[in-house]
Amino acid sequence: LINYLIVGMKMIDDIRNGITLNGEAHPERADELASIFTEADFEKPFLTRIWPDLKHIVAGGSGDFRIYTEQLKRYTGDVVYYEGCYASSEGNFASYDIESGKFRIRNDSSFFEFREIYSDGSEGNVLPMREVKNGCKYELIITNASGFYRYALGDVIRAGRLENGELLFDVLYRR
């Protein structure tokens, strides 16, 4: 397989040589994987059979992507899943805080504001981070670091506590 990929790809000679030298075959492992996939019931967790030492997965999967997180858990079973970051095409806004189980705003990436969202779905005032209240819902509004643009992401969060000027929060849904 590796030789087929190398022939089919235009690669720099150093990379090709490195793969050829380090890409030795492991027929026993190939047989083991073939057996796992032949017997696998894809409705039950099976990834720990492929990677027995798999302890956790770190990946994005909040908001609208949560559906894929749940599908992944179907294959991973009890493996701990961390949503490593909260990001969009506009930037990386938060990292996952393992201790709290919440996202932590990264103050170095953008300027953040929070539009109040009431239980009936109506909107309230736009607030700076220091005025956000624990347990309340807000729509996240960003201004990029250069100040060039400002807009609502459409994501609704539930605010947690402020810690050293950083907000802990959960992503609830997209409007």
Task: Please give, one letter per residue, the 3-state secondary structure of the chain.
Answer: CHHHHHHHCCCCHHHHHHHHHHCCCCHHHHHHHHHHHHHCCCCCCCHHHHCCCCCEEEECCCHHHHHHHHHHHHHHCCCEEEECEEEECCEEEEEEECCCCEEEECCCCEEEEEEEECCCCCEEEEEEHHHCCCCCEEEEEEEECCCCCEEEEEEEEEEEEEECCEEEEEEEEEC
CA nearest neighbour of 63 among 147, 142, 139, 149: 139
Residue 19's pLDDT band (cuts 50, 70, 90) = low
In this predicted model, which residue has the larger pLDDT, 137 or 91?
137
Which percentage of the chain shows pLDDT scores above 90? 24
Report pLDDT for 2.
47
In this predicted model, which residue has the larger pLDDT, 35 or 74?
35
The C-alpha atoms of residue 45 and residue 75 are separated, in whole angstroms, by: 4
Q: In terms of pTM, does the model score above 0.85? A: no
In this predicted model, which residue has the larger pLDDT, 67 or 113?
113
Residue 156 predicted with pLDDT over 50: yes
CA nearest neighbour of 82 among 64, 65, 52, 62: 62
Report pLDDT for 79.
84
Residue 129 predicted with pLDDT over 90: yes
